[in-house]
Amino acid sequence: MKKPSLRTVAAAAAALAVLAPAAACSSESAGSGGGDAKNAKIAFLMPDIASTRYELYDAPLFKAKMKQLCGGCTVLYQNAGADASKQQQQASSVLAQGVKAIVIDPVDSAAAASIVRMAQSRNVKVIAYDRPIPAAKADYYVSFDNEKIGAMIGQSLVEHLKQEKAEGGILEVNGSPTDAAANLIKKGIHSSVDPSGFKLLAEYDTPGWEPAKAQQWVSGQISKFRGQIAGVVAANDGTGGAAVAAFKAAGADVPPVTGNDAELAAAQRIIAGDQYNTISKPIKIVAEAAADAAHKFVQGETPKGNTTLFGTPSELFTPTVVTQDNIGKVLLGPDGALKADKVCTAEYAAACAKLGLK
C-alpha cells in the first residue's frame, strides 16, 4: 500500500482546519435553535387526531397568533396520531431543523420527559401544552386547570342527580393512563364523586382516550349494572359520546353523562338531551397564551406564570361548565366558540328552537 506524501497529509490537515470551525458553527447553530428571533422556527407538536380540536382549532389558532406576534417566524406543526414513538421522532426532526422553542401536548407524559431533556440540552425551550410533563421540568406550562375541570364536571353531575332524586350509582370513564392531565381530571372527579353519597360502581382508564374502547367498556357495565346506573362522569366529550352510544346500542335509557372540551357534537348532544354537560375552555385562550410564551422565549425573555405545577412555571385558566341552561350564552353567544347555524342543523332544529337557540 502506497503511503501518502507529506505534502498530501499537510493539505488534508489544512482542509480539516478550515472545515472544523464551520462544523462547530453549524453545531452551535443547531443547538441554539438557529436563526434570529425575527425568523425563528417554533414547533407545535400535538398528540392525536381522535379529538378533532387539534386540527380544527389548536393548530390554526396557534399559527395565527404567532403570525401576529412574529411575521417572519415559522411554525412547524406535527400531529403524532396517539403514537409516543412517533412524537419522539417528530421532536428529533424539528430539533434538527433548528427550532428555537417546542410547544408540546404529549401523547405520553412520562415518555415526553426525554423530549424535554433532549431539547433543553440544545438550549431549546419547551412549553408543555394542555398536558403537563411531571417527570421533567419543562420551561413553561399552559393549560386550563385540569384538576378543577374534573371537580366541576363531577360536582355538576352530582348536584343534578340529587336535584332529580336519582337512585343508583355512578360510572367513571377516565382519560388515558399515560396522560398526566387525565390523571389530574381523574383526581378532580374523585374529589366530587367520592363524598357525594352516590356509589362509584366502576371506573375505567381509557387507553389513548379512544372512544371505541370507552364504548366497549361502558357496554359491559350496562350489562353488569343494568338498572343501577344513575349517571356517567366521563372525562371528555369523546368518552362521553361513547357512553351515550353504548346506552343507545343497548336499548337502555341514557342517564346524565358528562363531557369536557365543548366539541360541536357534544353541544348537539346537550341540546338534544343526550349529554348533560361539557366544559368550555376556549382553545383560543391557551393557544394564544402558548404562542405568546414561545415568542417571549425566542426573544430571550422569560414568561411569568400565575402558579407552579410539577416544579414548572405555569399559566392555568379557569373553565366553565356548560349545560342546557347556559349553552346559548357560553358556546353560541357573540363570543362563543361555536356558531348556531353549525350546531342547529336540521336534525337539531326542533331541539334548538325549544331552548330558544337561533
String of DSSP letters for 12-77: HHHHHHHHHHHHHHHHHHHHTTSS-GGG-EEEEEE--SSSTHIIIIIHHHHHHHHHHH-TT-EEEE
Mean pLDDT of 111-127: 98
Q: Are residues 137 and 158 in the same domain?
A: no
Is pLDDT above 90 for 245? yes
Residues 6+ apart with CB under 8 A from 20: none
| 337 and 203 housed in the same domain | yes
Same-domain check for residues 273 and 323: yes
Q: Are residues 159 and 99 in the same domain?
A: no
Whether 256 and 348 map to the same domain: the answer is yes
At 354, list the grid cell. Answer: 325549544
Together in a domain, 196 and 328:
yes
Residue 37 confidence class, pLDDT cut points 50, 70, 90: confident
**Mean pLDDT, residues 274-291:** 96
In a domain, 32, yes or no: no
Residue 324 falls inside a structural domain = yes
Residue 108: is its pLDDT beyond 70?
yes
Q: Is the pTM of this model over 0.75?
A: yes
Assess whether pLDDT exceeds 70 at residue 84: yes
Domain with 79, as residue range(s), is 41-145+283-317
- Sorting pLDDT into bands at 50, 70 and 90, what band is 23? very low
CATH number at residue 170: 3.40.50.2300
Which stretches of 164-311 are DSSP H helices?
Answer: 180-193, 211-224, 237-249, 264-272, 283-298
Q: Which of 183, 189, 191 is nearest to 209 (CA)?
A: 183
Q: Are residues 133 and 262 in the same domain?
A: no
Residues sharing a CB contact under 8 Å with residue 110, sequence separation 6 or more, in sequence order = 134, 135, 178
Residues 190 and 300 in one domain: no
On whether residue 31 sits in a domain, the answer given is no
Distance CA 280, CA 338 (A): 11
What type of residue is 14? A
Phi, psi of 331 (to 5 degrees): -100, -30
- Cα–Cα distance between 351 and 89 in angstroms, integer? 46
Number of folded domains that form the chain: 2
- CB of 237 within 8 A of CB of 266? yes
